[in-house]
Structure 1
Amino acid sequence: MSKNLFVTGTNTEVGKTYVAGLIVKTLHEAGLDVAYYKAAMSGNTRRADGTLIPGDALFVREISGISQSLESMCPYVYEHAVSPHLASRIEGSPVRMDVIKQSFQAVCREHDYVVIEGSGGITCPLSVDEEHIQLEDIVHQFNLPSILVADAGLGTINGVVLTYEYMKQNKMPLKGILFNNFHTGNLMEEDNRLMCEQLTGLSVLSCIGQGDRFLPGLTAEKLSALFA
């Protein structure tokens, strides 16, 4: 079975998929057998034949160069750009934990490392109707260590500290923080990094600039040590 790492964020649109893709890319280019998984994916477009394109999975595959099938990357793909619990209600395909277990374990059997991306922030609900499933249920179900992606800009201290405290209270171990959209030398963003480290006790593992195709300061060896 694989070693795994969960990628969560302070909010939606902070760059989780981008960072997850760079993690997969770094490990893949180092010759490691790595795969990607996301339980539920919203806001996707359709092909000419009407089938949905799992956009996040496609991005990760293209940026990383892995050959994993899109179908194995995500069991639940929705068109509406809303939380998965609402998208599944609108589209009539509720998320089920047994499906997540089966599909995730199948990926784990085939690969040495699996990067799991969450939907939105850590409190995002995946299902509230037939089953009540939160992202944290997946983290607990598979004993996943996590890293936190945060935008480097204004407001990030609050988002990082609140997410850290919630995850600590609910026994979800965080390995560190990755800042996205970072501008080296920017006074506020440099201070944000220092304050987030001071207030959480976690290290900012990498500060990623716009358009970066690598993770500054993070080698494949350092990345693989985060997995469990």
Structure 2
Amino acid sequence: MGKKIFIVGTGTDVGKTYITGLILKKLKENGISAAYYKAAMSGNQRRQDGSLIPGDGVFVKNMSGIGQSLEEMCPYVYEAAVSPHLAAQLEGTSVSLEGVKEGFASVLEKYDYVAMEGSGGILCPIRMEKEEIWLEDIIKSLGLSCILVADAGLGVINNVGLTAAYLKMRNISLKGIIFNHYLPGSIMQEDNIRMCESLTGTKVIACVKDGDENLNLSLDALCGLFEEGKKL
């Protein structure tokens, strides 16, 4: 049974997919069997045969070099570039928590390390008809701890603080924070690091600049963030 971690963001477009790709790249380049998983993926394009391409999966696969098949990466893929719950309503295929768990369990059995990426921020609705599923329900059902990805710029103190407080309120463990779009030497961003660590009691474990091709975090420290998987 592999080890696992969840990559959550302070919101949409903060760079969760990019950071997840860097995490898996470091594992792969050090000879570790690693895989990607995402419960629901919206805003995807179609192949000529009409099937949907899991775009985030393609990005991560190309960046990291992992050999995992796209079919293993995401059980629910949608075309509409909207929240998963709305995409499901528009396209007629709702997310099943059991379906997500089955896919994740299969990947966890096959690979030694699995990084699961969230959709949007922590308050992302996944399914709203008949059965209500929120992103936090998936995190809890899979027994996952989190790494939080945030844009290093103005507003990050509020965004990180609120997300960390919500995770704590919901008894979801936060293992570390990664700043994306980091500008070395920025007085504001250096202060953002200090403020976020003080506010949350959680370390900023890495800062990623635009265009970085590697994660500035030791392999031991990265592997230490993952937790042992248990039978779901």
The reply to whether TM is greater than 0.5 is yes
C-alpha deviations, 1:149-192, integer Å up to 9, x for none?
00001111100000000000000000010000000001111111
| Aligned counterparts, 1:187-226, within 5 A | 187-216=187-216, 218-226=217-225
1:94, 1:130 within 8 Å by CA — same for their partners in 2?
Answer: no
CA distance in 1 between counterparts of 2:136 and 2:189 reads: 29
* Structure 2: gaps of 5 or more residues: 228-232
1:26, 1:219 within 8 Å by CA — same for their partners in 2?
Answer: no
Task: Quote the RMSD (CA, aligned, Å).
Answer: 0.7
- Code of the residue aligned with 1:57 in structure 2: it is G
| Aligned counterparts, 1:181-192, within 5 A | 181-192=181-192
Cα drift, residue 130 of structure 1: 2.9
Taking structure 2 as the reference length, what is the TM-score of the superposition?
0.96
Q: Secondary structure at the match of 1:210?
A: coil
Matched residues, number? 227
* Structure 1: gaps of 5 or more residues: none
- Code of the residue aligned with 2:226 in structure 1: it is F
| Identical counterparts, % of pairs | 56
Q: Secondary structure at the match of 1:192?
A: helix
Cross-structure match for 2:52: 52
Taking structure 1 as the reference length, what is the TM-score of the superposition?
0.98
Q: Secondary structure at the match of 2:149?
A: strand
CA distance in 1 between counterparts of 2:219 and 2:47 reads: 35
| Aligned counterparts, 1:1-228, within 5 A | 1-216=1-216, 218-228=217-227
- Code of the residue aligned with 1:185 in structure 2: it is G
Cα drift, residue 14 of structure 1: 0.1
- Code of the residue aligned with 1:177 in structure 2: it is I
- Code of the residue aligned with 2:81 in structure 1: it is A
CA distance in 2 between counterparts of 1:209 and 1:101 reads: 34
Cα drift, residue 70 of structure 1: 0.3
CA distance in 1 between counterparts of 2:66 and 2:219 reads: 15
1:10, 1:122 within 8 Å by CA — same for their partners in 2?
Answer: yes
1:4, 1:115 within 8 Å by CA — same for their partners in 2?
Answer: yes
Query: Following TM superposition, where does structure 1 have runs of at least 4 consecutive aligned residues deviating by more than 2 angstroms?
Result: none
